[in-house]
Structure 1
Amino acid sequence: MEERDLQNLSEKEFIEQYQQTEKDKYEKPSITTDMVIFTIDTEKVSDKRKKAEKELQLLLIQRGGHPYKGDWALAGGFMGIDEDVDTAVQRELKEETGVDGVYAEQLYTWSAVNRDPRMRIVSVSYLALVDQEKLPPLRAGDDADDVRWFTVKDRVVDSWDEQSGSTIRRTEEIELELTSGEITVSATIERVTVTEGANTKTAVKVTKQDGIAFDHAEIILYSLERLRGKVNYTNIAFNLVGEEFTLPDLQQVYEVILGRNLNKVQFRRHVEDMVLDTGRELRTGAYRPSKLYKYNAAWVHNQLK
Structure 2
Amino acid sequence: MDAMELRDRSGLTEKEFLQSYDVSLYERPSVTVDMLIFTVTDKEQDNYRKLPEKALQLLLIKRGEHPYLGQWALPGGFVAMHESIEEAAQRELKSETNIDSIYMEQLFTWGDVGRDPRTRVISCSYMALVDRTAMDVKAGDDADEARWFEVTYDLFQEKRTNFDDGFEYEKLMKIALKGELELLTATIKIVETLKGRSTKMITEIVECKGIAFDHAQIIEYAIRRLQNKIEYTDIVFNLMPPLFTLSELQQVYEVILGKELLAAAFRRKIANMVVETNEYTKDAGHRPSKLYRFNSNWNRY
- TM range, smaller chain: over 0.9
Residue of structure 2 in register with 1:196 after alignment: 195
Question: After TM superposition, which residue ranges in structure 1, 4 or more long, deviate above 3 angstroms?
Answer: 44-47
How much does 1:265 deviate? 1.2
Query: Is the contact between residue 32 and residue 79 of structure 2 (CA under 8 Å) also seen in structure 1?
Result: yes
Distance 1:290 1:271 in 2: 17
Q: CA RMSD in A?
A: 1.5
Q: Deviations over 1:19-42 (max 9, x none)?
A: xxx322000011100001100011
User: What is the aligned partner in structure 2 of residue 104 from structure 1?
Assistant: 104
* TM-score calculated relative to the size of structure 1: 0.93
| Change beyond 3 A, Cα 1:238–1:10 | same
Task: Give the TM-score of the pair, scaled to structure 2.
Answer: 0.94
Tell me by how many angstroms 1:236 deviates. Answer: 1.1
Distance 2:224 2:25 in 1: 40
Distance 2:210 2:57 in 1: 17
Residues 195 and 56 of structure 1: CA distance in aligned 2, closer, same or farther (over 3 Å): same
Deviates most, 216-225 or 92-101:
92-101
What secondary structure does 1:155 align onto? strand
- Calculate percent identity across the aligned residue pairs: 45
Name the amino acid aligned to 1:4.
R
Structure 2 counterpart of 1:12: 15
Q: Which residue of 2 aligns with 1:73?
A: 73
Amino acid at match of 1:87: E
Answer yes or no: is 1:303 the counterpart of 2:300. yes
Secondary structure at the residue paired with 1:58?
Answer: strand
1-side partners of 2:206 and 2:9: how far apart? Answer: 50
In structure 2, the residue corresponding to 1:232 is in which secondary structure?
helix
1:274, 1:161 → 2: CA distance? 37
Following superposition of structure 1 onto structure 2, how do residues 15-164 of structure 1 map, counting pairs within 5 Å? 15-18=18-21, 22-45=22-45, 47-136=47-136, 138-164=137-163
How far off its partner does 1:63 sit? 0.3
Deviations 1:112-157 (A, max 9, x none): 0110000000000001000111112x21110001111001111111
CA contact (8 A) 1:48 1:284 kept: no
* Count of residue pairs brought into register by the alignment: 295
Q: Is 1:170 matched up with 2:173? A: no
Q: C-alpha distance in 2, partners of 1:37/1:64? A: 20
CA-CA distance at 1:100 after TM superposition: 0.9
Question: 2: CA distance between counterparts of 1:91 and 1:267?
Answer: 38
Residue matched to 1:248: 247
Unaligned runs of 5+ in 2: 1-6
Structure 1 contact 255–262 (Cα < 8 Å) conserved:
yes
Secondary structure of the residue aligned to 1:61 is strand
1:224 has 2:227 as partner: no
Whether the 8 Å CA contact 1:166–1:196 is kept in 2: the answer is: yes
Moved more, 146-155 or 288-297: 288-297
Distance 1:193 1:47 in 2: 44
Change (3 A) 1:120 1:3: farther
Q: Partners in 2 of 1:45 and 1:190 — Cα distance?
A: 34
Q: Aligned partners of 1:197, 1:108: CA distance in 2, in Å? A: 26
Is the 8 Å Cα contact of residues 33 and 126 (structure 2) preserved in structure 1? yes
Q: Which runs of 5+ in 1 are unaligned?
A: none
Please state how far the C-alpha of 1:242 moved relative to its aligned partner.
1.6
Distance 1:272 1:171 in 2: 36
